[in-house]
Structure 1
């Protein structure tokens, strides 16, 4: 039971780190919105990056899980969007991405908070 909870917490931490890395990419894209020739960058989604399978069979014990100890995040360049200065940044798209990143980060924090409350309750510490 505890190994599954620890795995969920590790994934929540990975999701929070992924959201932070995504926020850095969005900020750099927005900072260079008027830079001629700048190519916007995007990161792969967290679920796609870790290869999380669709609903189906799940591992029954930790030795079956092939999760990395540390997640590595990389951004890839996007193609141009037809701007005359060859800049591929869309401010509207970046703002939408920033909102999605915020949701991911909030979800990771909610998971961590929920497990913290669960452990406190299990230990008899309700505060």
Structure 2
């Protein structure tokens, strides 16, 4: 029952997506002084869920049920330098921009964990252990 719960699956995928995004942001910040480094980001979770990438595709298994596929392992990195200026040495990392992105990734992670926690609470209530 719990293995097939699509809400838990989506919450877990969202949490993994936020963790991957936080890793990419940390790499960007670590390379803020590296000449020629191009800042990257991860495709948004909404694009991943809608099938915009090869990582996670929602499909109906039967009426009223939804299930996801393998996860976000096939995620795509995108060049995020288009939004900011590049320094004379070719580096496109803006610390301020990366900090805003890090805060957004944390918000996404907190939302995914809340969704996961509330789903487990509903399962416990359904089993009479709430």
Which structure has greater helix proportion?
1
SS class of match (1:117): helix
User: TM-score, length-normalised on structure 1?
Assistant: 0.81
- Equivalence for 1:30: 29
- Equivalence for 1:82: 86
User: TM-score, length-normalised on structure 2?
Assistant: 0.80
Confirm whether residue 120 of structure 1 aligns to residue 119 of structure 2: no
The one of the two structures with greater contact order (alpha-carbon pairs below 8 A, sep at least 6) is 1
SS class of match (1:113): helix
Give structure 1 stretches of 5+ with no counterpart. Answer: 53-57
- Aligned-residue Cα RMSD (Å) equals 2.4
How many Å separate the matches in 1 of 2:117 and 2:78? 32
- Equivalence for 1:67: 68
Q: Report the alpha carbon displacement of residue 82 of structure 1 after superposing the two structures with TM.
A: 2.8
Q: Which runs of 4+ in 1 moved over 3 A?
A: 58-62
Give structure 2 stretches of 5+ with no counterpart. Answer: 52-58
